Structure 1
């Protein structure tokens, strides 16, 4: 992520990142318990409903990554862009590769596959591009594509801002709203194609196009609307804050409606076994739910006032957000460890409770491990850079 001393820190971004991390851990914990053969229907239904509260997690990471980059964007010469990308590679992709190897070794060990079995190096090389052993690592592959293209995207966004963000504040808001509405409709259409049509398309293709459609969840274009939201937020942070606060009551109603409809669809289409793939990220209804929840949480974090001193809960979220990248990388391994013990237990009607306890254990352990590793010499190669302190936001510093 881009670090700079020239601009004030936007406190709620770090806090929102902490919430997103908790959502991702809860999402993966639910996935561990909801498909167990001995789960009872009430626990299965409750876990399926709660699952929809976690959908905002990963797209919010994309939103915040874009917001930080565009907020601190400066046009650079090509040589400086190369150095900038090299630092991003060290902060993000090197820790990803370290953990990809760890998950690959653990996966092979648990599957009783020799590490040096025939084709081992091809298998390990694939993990660097299409990670399978670490099921959550796909996000790093996706987000790094955005980093690679960011020097170009930053220039493009400057041209877009020259048209949309000019003149009076009201005109800016109207033009930006129209742009987001049009692009959002196009993105919803893309999500419709992805969920309902692309699986059939790929069966009639071959070569690179088939590969891209088959692995479309790894491609940053499939999440471009969240990057655009991050760019808008970064470019007009004061207007964004006002919008999130002013629409808070209405957005709460929209979210509750979408949450109810998503839960109903999951129950109706799943039958006795909950199928969480019904609520995949790349689906129009899930997209609407995520945007609504993201705005809702953003507005709630600004209560009672964006410039008020954060309370204990917000300070805790900010601490989580600071170490969330390393915790994200390691949390699935910790969840494997918890599951190693719980899978042999006769849980019967306790799957919901077991998922809750596991979530707390994994989230706390992952954050603690990320903090501990960050203190070691060279720890940034394992958990990424935790960030350097920047001056606190001043009321006159954000426009």
Structure 2
């Protein structure tokens, strides 16, 4: 498969809108919130009769962050593969990332550092606190979830080089997924058997298979959509087998991953770390493909009210990702002291509800009413205008944003 030749500015503006992307983002953020809202339960509820359910939700929802990584690469290559690389393109690219990604990362790193200092490190001197903040800022460790932004920033540095290679050597595109797997697993094996790297999960090579999967699918997506369109009225046996194999691989990898974590958490069974890596990698890759397919079907056949709701959630997902741990942190400062297991289960469910709807309301309200809200939450949906214009904005919100 080869990259398309460079196009004119008019042609570049004719990229198809992809409403399914916002739906995948919506599902991915729900997955992230499920993982974070059940993390304490996987430690504290081991004596519960439904511990298996907490473990199941916590592990099966781990598709969230890898899917966001996949989408980041997908959007970049979908939008930029036909664009000539030059000084103007590079300036625009990095300006958008600096404003839409790095500035919110900086502001939330400051916010979480202040909160954790007040709660846990108030005895530190100002010099110690500043040194700790700078180290954490430069390693994505200001709070547990900010590593995602940090590793994406690393890929943004590499992106122009990878894009240039794919444009100059289009045959490499067909090898992008094997290349991504080789880089990721080379990094994993080096870390296990050779030079161990601190905070391995904070470095982009740990996720390179998702970046390269996103690159391949993003570049080929117009052809993929055309091929799928041709299959609608003539679904071949081979197509059904491929879909069935993907779904089967996704379910098998997910359930196996759930099982080994259940055994490890509840019975302290020890497994080779490569087994965890392999099952998580297989589950995450197949999850990204399954979710993209389901989202495409949802846009075409799903209830339009649900598509609109999920589209809005997907458009706010980056802000929700940045903010939700703050609400969970505050919520967990008021645990239930009760022997009533049903109330405890409801308390954990309340944490998820707050993380989803509380942050959704806050970020959505800021997007509508707060000037310069994008400095905090990245690119946000356009503010509503007159009705005729609002209808047009709703359509435009389906366009793949370039700042992610």
Q: Name the residue aligned to 2:386.
A: none
Q: Name the residue aligned to 1:113.
A: 122
Distance 2:209 2:105 in 1: 24
Q: TM-score of the superposition, structure 2-length normalised? A: 0.79
Residue 349 of structure 2 is aligned with which of 342, 353, 356? 356
Shift of 1:363: 0.7
Q: Name the residue aligned to 2:285.
A: 291
Q: Name the residue aligned to 1:206.
A: none
Q: TM-score of the superposition, structure 1-length normalised? A: 0.80
Q: Is the 8 A contact 2:367 2:373 kept in 1?
A: yes
Unpaired stretches in structure 2, ≥5 consecutive residues = 1-11, 232-238, 383-392, 400-404
Shift of 1:313: 2.2
In angstroms, what is the RMSD of aligned CA positions? 3.2
Residue 161 of structure 2 is aligned with which of 149, 152, 177? 152
Q: Name the residue aligned to 1:173.
A: none
Q: Name the residue aligned to 2:182.
A: 186
Q: Which moved more, 1:69-78 or 1:246-255?
A: 246-255
Q: Name the residue aligned to 2:146.
A: 137
Distance 2:68 2:313 in 1: 13
Q: Does 1:16 align with 2:11?
A: no
Residue 319 of structure 2 is aligned with which of 303, 323, 326? 326
Say which SS state the counterpart of residue 121 (structure 1) adopts: helix
Distance 1:97 1:130 in 2: 12
Shift of 1:103: 0.6
Distance 2:37 2:273 in 1: 16
Distance 2:35 2:273 in 1: 12
Shift of 1:125: 1.3
Q: Which moved more, 1:247-256 or 1:137-146?
A: 247-256
Q: CA 1:187/1:350 → structure 2, altered by over 3 Å: closer, same or farther? A: farther
Unpaired stretches in structure 1, ≥5 consecutive residues = 166-175, 203-209, 395-399
Shift of 1:321: 0.7
Q: Is the 8 A contact 2:177 2:209 kept in 1?
A: no
Distance 2:164 2:20 in 1: 26
Q: Which moved more, 1:353-362 or 1:84-93?
A: 353-362
Q: Which moved more, 1:359-368 or 1:20-29?
A: 359-368
Q: Name the residue aligned to 1:371.
A: 364
Q: CA 1:10/1:155 → structure 2, altered by over 3 Å: closer, same or farther? A: same
Q: Does 1:229 align with 2:213?
A: yes
Counterparts of residues 115-264 of structure 1 (less than 5 Å): 116-160=125-169, 162-163=170-171, 176=174, 179=175, 182-183=178-179, 186=182, 189-190=185-186, 193=189, 198-199=191-192, 201-202=194-195, 213-241=197-225, 246=240, 247-264=242-259
Question: Which structure's relative contact order is higher, taking Cα pairs within 8 Å and 6+ residues apart?
Answer: 1
Shift of 1:201: 3.5
Q: Name the residue aligned to 1:88.
A: 97
Q: Name the residue aligned to 2:380.
A: 386
Distance 1:279 1:302 in 2: 35
